[in-house]
Amino acid sequence: MHRIAATLVTGPSAALREAMIAGALDARLRTALILEGLPDGASPFGEALPTWLTIVRIAPGCICCSGNLPMRVTLNRILRQHPERLYISLANSSHLPQIREFLQQEPYDKWLSLTKELIANNHSHV
């Protein structure tokens, strides 16, 4: 079974997180993005997405609380599309250990291979 490289992305604003992800994208890989919250400026992804890129936005809030339901439903839908790469942008990094733990439990432990987090900040260069 092919495991999907999954990267958690944190940072103070949606614009910085999305710019960090946009700079890391590889057009040779089917990629899915789960972006928490609404963009807080012009999105680097534009309106017309390339066929290799899927973007899903979920409402801001603690995605590791309340049974992980929004994250679980969104993630399950994304995984059915068989992406080769996954980025998950988090509006709040305070529960990062709990989110990593959630993604390393069954069934996600068989599908995902977590990478080092990307941390967007005002000094990031993409």
d(CA 57, CA 27) in angstroms, rounded, equals: 20
pLDDT at 11 over 50: yes
Q: Where residue 4 falls among pLDDT bands split at 50, 70, 90? A: very high
Q: Is residue 52 part of a domain?
A: yes
Q: Is residue 61 part of a domain?
A: yes
**Mean pLDDT value of segment 100-107:** 92
Give per-residue pLDDT as tens, 42-79.
778 877 789 999 999 887 766 666 567 888 889 999 99
Range of the domain at 55: 4-119
d(CA 52, CA 30) in angstroms, rounded, equals: 5
- Structural tokens at position 43: 């999105």
CATH code of the domain containing 77: 3.40.1010
Number of domains in the chain: 1
Which backbone phi and psi does 80 adopt, to 5 degrees?
A: -65, -20
pTM of the model: 0.90
